[in-house]
Amino acid sequence: MAQTTRSAAGQPAPAVSPPSPPPPPPSPPSPKGFRSAELGWPELRRIPHPPRRLPLLGDVLGADARTPLQDSMRMGQRLGPIFRRKAFGKEFVFVWGAGLVADLADESRFAKHVGLGVANLRPVAGDGLFTAYNHEPNWQLAHDVLAPGFSREAMAGYHPLMLDVARQLTARWDEREAAGRPVDVPGDMTKLTLETIARTGFGHDFGSFERSAPHPFVRAMVGTLSFAQRRNVVPPMLAPLVLRGAGRRNDADMAYLNRTVDAVVAARRAAPGQGGHGDLLDRMLDVAHPDTGERLSPENIRRQVITFLVAGHETTSGALSFALHYLSRSPEALARARAEVDEVWGADGEPAYEHVAKLRYVRRVLDESLRLWPTAPAFAREAREDTVLGGEHPMCRGAWALVLATMLHRDPAAWGERPEEFDPDRFAPSAVRARPAHVFKPFGTGARACIGRQFALHEATLVLGLLLRRYDLHADPGYRLRVAERLTLMPDGLTLRLTRRPPAV
C-alpha cells in the first residue's frame, strides 16, 4: 500500500491506480548485509541515544522485546526527531521529524532499504514486491506487469467480490448480535481481508467464515511475521540457541505457506478456460512485460502470491480494526460517519462502486486511524550516494535510517498541539492543504510504495460503510487499547457489542 492520493481540492481521489512514478536514477547496489550505523554515519556521535548505555549490551535497559516499536516511540519522544539505539553491537538510526522525513523522501537521493524485519521475511517472500532489493530486476518486472491490476477498471471488477465477502462477515455478526455476544474485531477483520484478497486476486476461497479458529494460512503467516520480529531483538550470538525451537516452527510455517500457494497456482493452471479471470494471478501467469516481453518465473510467481496474500490482508485488517475501535469511542465521529453513509447510499441495499468514493468523511476516519496507528508502522531509507541529511547529518552511500511513521504522524510541527487525539477533521480538505508534504506515510513512500494502496482503501471504506449502516457499535467500557506488534500492528483483545439498526428507508 502507499501514500493517500488526493484531488486538487484536497478530497480523497477516486480509487484509481496513479501513474507509475518515473524510475529512480540508476545507482550501484548498496553494500551487502547489515550495516551498523557507525559504518555509514561519519558524525554519529552528534545523534542522541538513550542514557545508561551498557557495554556490549547497548540500550537494553527498560526495553521490551514484545513491543520494540512502542519502545522506540517512547525513546523518540524523549530524544527528539533523530536518535539512535544500540543492541548487542548493532546500532540503528531512527528518524521521525517531518523535515528530515521529507528529505529522506527525495527519490533522487534516497531509496528503499530492505532491512530489519523485512529482510527477515526474504526466506519466504524472496524478491517479491515488498522484500526485493532495489537492484533485483524482478521488482520492476513484477511492478510493470501487475500495476494494471489496480486500474480503475480492475478495481470496479473487484467490487462485487468485495461485497460478497462482506456479506459473509455481516452474516456472522448478525448471529453474534442475535445471541447477545461480542464480536472479535481483529479476528473477523483478518478473515474478511484474507478472503477478499484471495478471491479477488487469485480466485481462491479459504472458507475463513466457516471456521471457528483462524485458517492455518493465517497461523502460519502470523508465525513468520512474529519470528521475523523476534530475530530483530535476539542477540545474534544467542539466536541459534534461543530461537532453535522457533526456527523449526518457522520452517514449518514457511513450508505451509509455500504448499498452499503452489496448490492455488496449480489449480488455476489446471482449470478449464485458464486465463478467463482477469485477476492478479492471470496477469502473473499469462502477461509479459509490455516492453521486454519477459515473464515472471514460477518461483517469483509463488513469492508474489505470498506477498499479496500476506501484505494484502494483514495491514488492511489492522486499519479496519483501529478505525472501529476509535469510532466506538467517538460518538460524534460515529454519528457523522453513519449520517454520511445513510445520505450517500440512500435506500439502496448495497453500494455501487461509484458510491464508495463519495464517503469522504468515512475516508477521513480511516486516514485518521492510519495516522495514529499505521499498520505498517515504519519504513527504511538508504542513501544512493554520499549525502547530508537535513543539512546536518552526513551519510555515506548505503547508510540507512528507519522512519517511524507512528512518530512522524504525531509530530506537533505537522499535526498540532494534541496529536494523540483522534480527530478525522485533520483530513478535511483545508487541513490537508495547510500541511507540508510527506507528513502522512501509512503506505511507505516513493517508487517502492505499496502497489495495492487504492485496493486497500476502497475495501476498507466499503466495509466501514456497510458496518456503520447495519450496526450500532458498543465499546467495552473496561477496554484500554493495547497494540500487538508482529512487524505490523493490530489492536490486541478488541471486542465490540452490536445492535442492529433499522433498515434505511
Q: What is the set of active-site residues?
A: 315, 443, 450
Residues linked to residue 471 through DSSP beta bridges, in sequence order: 500
Residues linked to residue 489 through DSSP beta bridges, in sequence order: 485
State whether the Cα torsion 167-173-174-175 is positive or negative.
positive
Q: Are 449 and 315 in contact (CB under 8 A)?
A: no
- Closest Cα to residue 356, out of 173, 166, 147? 166
* Sole residue written with cell 502470491: 305
Q: Which of the 8 DSSP states describes residue 33? A: S
Beta strand 400-404 with 90-95: parallel, antiparallel or unpaired?
Answer: parallel
Q: Which of the 8 DSSP states describes residue 442? A: B
Tally of CB atoms within 10 A around 20: 12
Measure the CA–CA gap between 188 and 175, rounded to whole angstroms: 13
Q: What length is written for the chain?
A: 505
Distances (CA, A) of 466 to 226, 352, 356, 364: 32, 12, 10, 16
Instruction: List the alpha helices (DSSP H) in 297-443.
Output: 298-328, 331-345, 353-356, 360-372, 405-408, 412-415, 429-434
Distances (CA, A) of 35 to 46, 47, 59, 91: 19, 17, 18, 9
Measure the CA–CA gap between 425 and 144, rounded to whole angstroms: 36
Using DSSP's 3-state secondary structure scheme, residue 491 falls into strand
Strand 90-95: give its sheet, edge to edge: 82-87, 90-95, 400-404, 378-383, 110-112
Residues linked to residue 403 through DSSP beta bridges, in sequence order: 95, 379
| Grid coordinates given for 159 | 467490487
Question: Which residues, 6 or more positions from 73, have their beta carbon under 8 angstroms from its beta carbon?
Answer: 404, 406, 407
DSSP 448-479: GS-TTHHHHHHHHHHHHHHHHHHEEEEE-TT-
